[in-house]
Amino acid sequence: MGDKTDVWQGTLALMVLKTIEALGPLHGYGIARRIEQTSGNLLSLNYGTLYPALLKLEQEGSISSEWGVSENNRRAKFYKLTRAGRKQLEKETRNWEQTTAILARFLAPSGDPA
């Protein structure tokens, strides 16, 4: 049970936005660590996946970035949520809540609607 799984398709943007919303501006390494920590270390986050996702979110206007200094005194790019990002987070949260509710119906024992 010690095996980590990859991040599920379509969930990374939601996890990134939610992490930044909860903790405020963070650098990529901090975002990755927090996502892994929040998952109980069950998810494995590939940095080759995270940084393109951050770039895409920034290009879409959901997050913005600026250079700063990390806690270990290194130059790092910090990402923060924009107003558009808050709206996207609300929308994606609703979509995932609906999706999981639908799946719960399929996973529930027969005759026991979830």
What pLDDT digit, counting tens, does each position of 25-64 carry?
A: 999 999 999 999 999 999 888 888 899 999 999 999 999 9
pLDDT at residue 1 in the model = 45
Give 5-107's CATH code, choosing from 3.40.50.970, 2.60.120.1440, 1.10.10.10, 1.10.3660.10.
1.10.10.10
Who contacts 67 (Cβ-Cβ below 8 Å, separation ≥6)? Answer: 75, 76, 77, 78
- 7 pLDDT more than 50: yes
Stated pTM of the model: 0.85
- Average of per-residue pLDDT values in the chain: 90
Alpha carbon 4 to chain centroid, angstroms: 16
